Amino acid sequence: MNQPSEAASIREDGSIDRLAIDTIRTLAIDAVEKANSGHPGTPMGLAPVGYTLWRDFLRYDPGVPDWPNRDRFVLSVGHASMLLYALLHLAGVREIDANGKPTGAPAVGLDDIRQFRQLGSKTPGHPEYRMTTGVEATTGPLGQGCGNSVGMAVAQRALAARFNREGFTLFDHDVYVLCGDGDMMEGVSGEAASLAGHLGLSKLCWIYDSNSISIEGPTRLAFSEDVGKRFEAYGWNVLHVGDANDTQAIVEALEAFRKTQDRPTFIVVRSVIGWGSPRAGSEKAHGEALGTDNVRATKKAYGWPEDAQFFVPDGVAEAFNAAIAKRGKAAREAWESEFERYRQAFPKEAAEFEMLRWGRLPEGWDADVPSFPADAKGIASRDAGGKLLNAIAPHVPMLIGGAADLSPSTKTNLNFEGAGAFEADEHAGRNMHFGVREHAMGAIANGMALSYLRPYTATFLVFADYMRAPIRLASIMEVPVVFVFTHDSIGVGEDGPTHQPIEHLATLRAIPGLDTIRPGDANEVAVAWQVALGRTNGPTALILSRQALPTIDRGKYASADGLRKGAYVLADAKEGDDPEIILVATGSELSLAVAAHEQLVADGVHSRVVSMPSWYLFERQDRAYRDQVLPPHVRVRLAIEQAGALGWDRYVGADGATITMSTFGASAPLAKLQQKFGFTRDNVLKVARQLVEGHTS
């Protein structure tokens, strides 16, 4: 608290609720003003909504903010981050460290709010998961939080189906979202809402701040549809609150949500952005600090001390914390007591959930991973991936996923006994049917991963473009989603350039924290899936082929286990001989490199083949290992990959070359395309010999 002597004079006829709402507003004003950066308007307009939801409905224990059956609150309007930070501060939420241990410190202290948007603070411009206790998802790109919330609601249903038993209700929490006009304009929210309505996710509530303002001005410039009617068509229960300041109407709408058992709820709340500000409804109230004069005038309108900054009146935080904690602590303690009884009655299930909660995998989860014998004809890596997925999934609890209406092509359907499908009336199924909704699929998977599940998604690699935002956010949040991408090259053939990825590998590899793995045969696929599921601190993209790839003879060449280090020497020159050339390849081009290598060796050229399925993993090895695989003194190197050349210069150097794609593909049978673009043994040999001769001449 600060300036307590002024508390009594602020609003003599005002309730503690009014004081709390205006405290949220003024904290947002002061934080944005001090930072000279941020969005004060939405927190000001939505303060009554956020306050009412948290104080009267949210089942949440500020002292133990990570208990599993807590209600989830997602701020999809991430630019309104000060609303969340103010709520976390006033609610007295306590901090949890990176190891899941309480520190005793506040999650967001008043000093943290003073450091809003500053380097190293716990109050960044948009809420960031892991950085700030109480932030359930990293939001900012509009619509993503909406998608995440659908994944959280799916997870609630899946967890309940797996763990709830007669007499034991471990999972029945609600998921709340604050969203705005920008969220509604972004297509991802429509994709996610459509699926949520189809699935009848009745524990999901979106509260839509309809304030009719965007950064460019009134939303009527580009947005005039009746959003409520759209959501009715999606199958949601649509309610309306005419004034965001009418807290009784908000209460009634939230009570109606809780009574709705067959579909999600969409509450349209009409607000005035920057309520109380002389510039309310203006772009300035939305997207930047108000300025000294407007701040004083706004505080005067609230009956606030005009010169007070970061002022929390006596009793406000205590009353807010008491209201939330009384309900939340009792619910949390009852849950913990119930879980202990559950542990006695269902020890196996209790142990399974504990593994999920702490991100562990069960003993022997990969015991049934198959190995594949050498085979010149081979198997498509997508087919090998399907075999691996179905060998592992029965042993990995809550490994749930699906494709964007492409599972027959991506081979990602779980077909073991009891796998089933997750549907509106069946929540124990392990197969998700996302429909043709790649963008929402990625956002939903992130929400599932934030709620103890181990999700995977699948589509063609070229459609990674539709998923870039959620893939990037999965990396920022460090959640272990597995993104499966098949049809990974011009090997798609007759489908033509619209379906043939060229630049996609480079753009995925550019995302920090994303492990992009392109295995070269079935045994590398087996290791890749083990690596992906063994990872708990970030996402993985598995890049798989449509066409069959020869299964390399691992008795003759190195073990596929080398994939765990990102790159390894697959085939080498005779013992003791330095290679004259190193052929580096990934995916479908690995067998091409091996074929060229065998001919080079027969011709007396000291050749080495390096399989490099994961740049990410290779860069995390020590210098000694990297130099062992790619000796710095061996400067003649040739990279072979049916994708763009961008990035390969780091590995081939100034004296090396690439056989890669510099144009889009074409529609033709695969053999014709390989000939046209140079992905043949003869062309690899030609380029390799030219490199060797050029270096020795």
Domain-terminating residue out of 277, 298, 331: 331
User: Residue 556 domain-assigned?
Assistant: no
CA distance 249 to 301: 23
Q: Of 128, 186, 349, 438, which one is the catalytic site residue?
A: 438
637 & 686 share domain:
yes
Determine whether 438 is an active site residue: yes
Residue from 526, 662, 640 nearest 588 by CA: 640
410 & 535 share domain:
yes
User: Residue 342 domain-assigned?
Assistant: no
125 & 193 share domain:
yes
571 & 622 share domain:
yes
Q: How many structural domains does the chain have?
A: 3
495 & 623 share domain:
no
User: Residue 367 domain-assigned?
Assistant: no
CA distance 442 to 627: 37
pLDDT higher than threshold 60 for residue 4:
no
Q: Which CATH number does the domain housing residue 524 bear?
A: 3.40.50.970
User: Residue 227 domain-assigned?
Assistant: yes
User: Residue 364 domain-assigned?
Assistant: no
Q: Which CATH number does the domain housing residue 674 bear?
A: 3.40.50.920
511 & 583 share domain:
no
| The pLDDT of residue 696 | 76
| The pLDDT of residue 12 | 41
What pTM does this model have? 0.95
CA distance 506 to 398: 31
pLDDT digits over 448-480, tens only? 999 999 999 999 999 999 999 999 999 999 999
Domain-terminating residue out of 486, 515, 550: 550
Mean pLDDT of 484-502: 95
500 & 621 share domain:
no
User: Residue 350 domain-assigned?
Assistant: no
Enter the tokens of residue 655. Answer: 């004296």
- Edge-to-edge strand ranges of the sheet holding 607-611: 568-571, 607-611, 581-585, 637-644, 657-661
541 & 579 share domain:
no
DSSP assignment of 412-458: ----STT--B-BTTB-S-SEEE--S-HHHHHHHHHHHHTTT-EEEEE
Confidence of residue 168 (pLDDT cuts 50, 70, 90): very high
User: Residue 557 domain-assigned?
Assistant: no
pLDDT digits over 335-347, tens only? 999 999 999 999 9
Helix H or strand E encompassing 627: helix 623-629
Which segments of 329-481 are extended strands (E)? 375-380, 399-403, 431-433, 454-460
Which residues are paired to 403 by β-bridges?
A: 433, 458
Domain-terminating residue out of 299, 331, 363: 331
pLDDT digits over 171-189, tens only? 999 999 999 999 999 999 9
The 3-state DSSP class for residue 95 equals strand
User: Residue 210 domain-assigned?
Assistant: yes
626 & 508 share domain:
no
Contacts of 310 (CB under 8 A, 6+ apart): 2, 27, 30, 31, 110, 113, 114
389 & 458 share domain:
yes
Mean pLDDT of 635-640: 98
Q: Which domain holds residue 29?
A: 4-331
CA distance 254 to 266: 10
542 & 588 share domain:
no
Residue from 368, 361, 428 nearest 396 by CA: 361
Which segments of 604-678 are extended strands (E)? 607-611, 637-644, 657-661
CA distance 316 to 123: 21
Which segments of 158-236 are extended strands (E)? 175-180, 204-210, 213-214, 217-218
Burial call 565-597: b when 16+ CB within 10 Å, e when fewer: ebbbbbbbbeeeeebbbbbbbbbbbbbbbbbbb
CA distance 85 to 100: 20
Enter the tokens of residue 295. Answer: 């701040």
| The pLDDT of residue 545 | 98
Residue from 151, 171, 143 nearest 71 by CA: 171
381 & 518 share domain:
yes
Residue from 315, 318, 296, 316 nearest 307 by CA: 296
